[in-house]
Chains A and B, each alone.
Chain A
Amino acid sequence: MRGITAMTLQSPGFGGAGVLDHNVSDLVVEEPGRFRVHSDVYVRPDIFALEMSRIFETSWVFVAHESMVPNPGDYCTGAIGRQPVIISRDDHGEVHVLFNRCAHRGSVVCRDERGHAATFRCPYHGWMYRNDGTLIGAAQRSGYPKDFDTWGLRLGAVPNVETYRGLIFANIAPDCEPLSERLGGVRRYVDAWCDRAPDGEVTVPIGAHRYDYPGNWKLQMENGVDGYHGNYVHESYANILERSGERKAADISRARNRVGAKNYAKGLPHGDGLLERADGMLGTYDTKSNPEYRQQIADAYGDERMEEVLTQRNIFIFPNLYLFESHIRVIRPVEVDKTYVDVYPTTLVGASDEFNRDRLTEHQRFFGPASFGQPDDIEIFVCAQTGVNVGATPWMELSRGLAREEVNEYGESVGHSTDENPQRSIYREWRKRMLNEAVKA
């Protein structure tokens, strides 16, 4: 089944080399009652390269939150796949996603991660650009012909940029569906997530918790909607809550395993997914129980919508964005075995300062490189990154709950909160994109 030769490894086959396509189609195997993914997806550099071109560089990907560039002239930098970009708000307030590459000889023109600038100046030969990407001038202009201005030189602009409720997405593919179409079914969950702010708006601060782990990016992608690992990976946190008298570890474990509660793992179309627990995430700060906040949400949206808004969810938007109760999480693949994860704790606009401060305090207890929860997840990704090199027994089993998978009226595959429905949705989409099927269709 492995069937990957050294020859294929040497020829990544951008744009559709037949041999690799054939192999990619064998990497996700769905049979009655069983769903498996081949470990090659975590270790092969050619597959990583193909993921960058066929997933990251041809999908709507999250690039920044609007509150990171609140004012005209503000910018932040980032990457779409491997391509460096600048997210810039021009003097008229419009957001641009510009490729961070001088039109002259390829140098980046902006090296800060965040700042304020009317212009970007290339450090190499001084070419100067406005913050909307237009070229202001080349140094020592007389060396170029008279029609130089008509060459159309500028900072390249990502052709598709759209914002939904403060989330800025961009898509490099020239022809793509509108963002609203792409979001589709996940949009109502994004709405509920934003509406956790009484004013319907979240912001992020300057600082973020950021990770750099020596493992494949998909390990983080799979984990944020995994409701199965909590009892084992986060045993330490359950012990901490028991020690502090907040919750009994045995109760947390029981609640996770209970069948029939309002706890679901859902796989959505487009590779999106969510973990949903009406009773909260069993340990993280329970915003639902704060009476003042509940009243604010009831006043803002009505009693009926309140339950929907306050249902705690980890929402995944393929391929790189998570919305958690306390934060925005961005997955940034660097190499096949190197990944950055950026965690931006949110402020709920309209909630009291005290409430937001308490949320942040509790967030920091579980999330961040020095915290008591998330580093244990990261550690497991790293454990897996060594294990997946075993080629003799290469399969990942993602079959949990396949037999009890149900599709609801929204086209969502719904399972018990410990089931692997979201992971299956992720890999169905992954396979489709890697085979270029989504683009062909």
Chain B
Amino acid sequence: MSAATQAVGKVERLLTVQDLLHREARLLDDRRFDEWVDMFTEDATYSLPIVVSDDPREPSLIRDTKAGMEERVFRLTKTLAHAQNPPSRTQHDVTNIEVRDTADGLLEVLCNQTVHELRNGDVFHVGLAKPRTFAARCRYLIAPGEPWRIREKTCLLIDREYPIYNLTFIF
């Protein structure tokens, strides 16, 4: 394979990954949460760690299995969750995408994500109608296939170990 062909392959792979990440962002921002969950494999995990550590005693902001993700979506869409009433309006921006092969045939994707968030409501009320920004360095494991699915999504928030008011939307 010529260097040029290899380069084209890499570009195609990058574009496919980028499409997938953009699709995820769009589904979350359009509140199409069921379709978002469908983007993940059955054994997927979705995590927002606090401390980067394998110590099982360490808490995380989020450590969801796929069942946990479904529960999270259920809470957002089917229950009166006060912290999401009114709900968050979000805008996920995805940048700095890098793609690498892993030994077991998955793709490791590193990217940065910025989520702009706002909850509608009376601007005079504490906590409402104020834009907030969340930034994270993210790692995905993606299983190529038909379609490509997410096996792992891990987001390291820049302020993960510091006080946060309301992180009840999906990052």
Contact = CB atoms under 8 A, between A and B. Distances in A.
The answer to whether A binds B is yes
Contacts of B82: 233, 236, 375-376, 379-380, 383
Most chain A CB within 10 A, of B79, B162, B171, is at: B79
Nearest to A234: B82
B165 A236 contact: no
Interface residues on B, range: 35 or more
Given A210-B162, A213-B165, A378-B166, A205 B75 contact: no
B142 to A, nearest CB: 23
A431 interface: no
Contacts of A30: none
Interface string B61-93: 111000000011011001111110100000000
A243 B80 CA distance: 14
A240 B81 CA distance: 11
Say whether chain B's binding surface is mostly helix, strand, loop, or mixed: loop
Given A214-B165, A376-B83, A368 B61 contact: yes
A401 B162 CA distance: 38
Most chain A CB within 10 A, of B83, B85, B124, B167, is at: B83
Nearest to B62: A370
Nearest to A339: B163
B14 interface: no
A379 B71 contact: no
Contacts of A378: 83, 165-166
Contacts of A212: 162-165
A209 interface: yes
A25 interface: no
Given A210-B164, A375-B83, A243 B71 contact: yes
B61 A244 contact: no
Contacts of B62: 364, 370
Contacts of B57: 203, 205, 345, 347, 356-357, 360
Contact of A240 (B56, B75, B126, B166): B75
B16 interface: no
Interface in B18-76: 48-51, 53, 55-63, 71-72, 74-75
A361 B171 CA distance: 20
Contact of B126 (A211, A239, A386): A386
B74 A208 contact: no
Most chain B CB within 10 A, of A233, A363, A364, A380, is at: A364
18 contacts: A206-B58, A207-B59, A212-B163, A212-B164, A213-B127, A236-B79, A236-B80, A239-B74, A239-B75, A240-B74, A243-B74, A337-B126, A347-B57, A353-B56, A375-B83, A378-B166, A379-B82, A383-B82
Interface of B: 48-51, 53, 55-63, 71-72, 74-75, 78-83, 85, 124-127, 161-168, 171
